[in-house]
Structure 1
Amino acid sequence: MEVKIGVQHAPREITIESSQSAEEVEKAVADALAGTAKLLSLTDEHGRKVLVPSERLAYVEIGESAARRVGFGAAL
């Protein structure tokens, strides 16, 4: 699952491929925004953790993984 995280005062967004379900990601974001967690903690598909301070969250976009196209015919 692809997760994009916007961070305040940062020029680029964070994009990770997570093995967590959409419900797990949504619960982690809700806990961070409610103040029950100081950090938004997500794990990518390689087991690496991404930690973002909850007061710096601008937005979180949760979507399905896009199939990666390779080659010259990928511009469709």
Structure 2
Amino acid sequence: MEVKIGVQHAPREIVVESAQTAEEVEQAVADALAGKSQLLSLKDDHGRKVLVPSDRLAYVEIGEPAVRKVGFSAL
């Protein structure tokens, strides 16, 4: 699952490839925005944890991962 996170006062967005489902990511974002958690916490595919303060979230885009093609054949 590809998740793009916009952070206030940051020039670039954070892009995370996560094994979490869209529903799990959406619930984590909803909890952070509702004040249940002070941090948005997501795990990426490599086991790293991304923490973003909930009061600095500008937007969160949840989408499908891009399919990476391997090889040198013509399309």
TM-score (norm. length: structure 2):
0.91
- The aligned runs of 1:6-17 (5 Å cut-off) are 6-17=6-17
Query: Could you tell me the TM-score, scaled by structure 1's length?
Result: 0.90
Identity %: 80
Per-residue deviation at 1:3? 0.2
Distance in 1, Cα, partners of 2:69 & 2:8: 31
* CA distance in 2: counterparts of 1:9 and 1:72, whole angstroms: 40
Return 5+ residue gaps in structure 2 as ranges: none
For the aligned residue pairs, the C-alpha RMSD in angstroms reads 1.8
1:11-51 C-alpha deviation (Å, 9 max, x unpaired): 00000100000000000000000000000000001110000
